[in-house]
Structure 1
Amino acid sequence: MLKHIVMWKLKEFAEDKGKIENAKEIKSKLENLKGKINEIQVIEVGININDSVQSYDVVLYSEFKDEDALERYQKHPEHVKVGEFIGKVREDRVVADYMV
């Protein structure tokens, strides 16, 4: 099993919305992929409540069968659309993928 974790720092204001509204939209868009992309085994999106300077605003935790499944997910048109939105509202991104 492959675990895929991504965290984003969001811009204070982007796409005519504040950070909190964009965080909620990211959460909704990503969680809605579960029914559209078969490769997703588990998906969970959290909005940070810690206001530390070091913290990130949104975190994605997801699980896939293997690296090939993750790659198919990342190239899926529905995921690409969500990624385009996130790209417009994010300031920074970190990612970790690991097998268990």
Structure 2
Amino acid sequence: MIKHIVMWKLKEQAEGADRATNAREMKRRLDECATIVPGILTFEVTLAQPDLEATYDVVLYSEFADRAALEAYIKHPTHQAVVPFIGVIREGRQCMDYEV
């Protein structure tokens, strides 16, 4: 199994919207990727919550059956359609993939 964890810090303003609006839109778009390929075992998109510590605005926690499933997800057109939007609204990104 491969765990794929990504965290994004968003710009205060981008694409004519504020950080909170863009975070919600990003989550909506990423949530559409939750079942796009076989082998996605877990797919959770979470936004920073008020009154809880957070240094990033959006987190994706996902688990894939194997590397092939992760690669299929990354290359899938639905995922690829989200990438440009995230690229414009993000200030920073951290990612870690690891096998368990």
Equivalenced residues, count: 99
Distance change (3 Å), C-alpha of 1:51 and 1:85: farther
Which runs of structure 2 are paired with 1:18-33 in the superposition (5 Å)?
18-33=18-33
- SS for the counterpart of 1:83 is helix
Matched, 1:61 2:71: no
Distance change (3 Å), C-alpha of 1:72 and 1:36: closer
Matched, 1:98 2:98: yes
Q: Matched residues in 2 for 1:83 and 1:51: separation?
A: 29
Once the 2 structures are TM-superposed, how far is the Cα of residue 51 of structure 1 from its aligned partner? Answer: 7.8
- SS for the counterpart of 2:94 is strand
- The alignment's TM-score, normalised by the length of structure 2, stands at 0.89
The Cα RMSD (Å) is 1.8
Once the 2 structures are TM-superposed, how far is the Cα of residue 69 of structure 1 from its aligned partner? Answer: 1.1
Once the 2 structures are TM-superposed, how far is the Cα of residue 34 of structure 1 from its aligned partner? Answer: 1.9
- The alignment's TM-score, normalised by the length of structure 1, stands at 0.89
Q: Matched residues in 2 for 1:25 and 1:61: separation?
A: 17
**Which residue of the partner structure matches residue 4 of structure 2?**
4
Of all paired residues, the percent bearing the same amino acid is 51
Aligned residue type for 1:5: I
**Which residue of the partner structure matches residue 44 of structure 2?**
44
Q: Matched residues in 2 for 1:70 and 1:27: separation?
A: 19
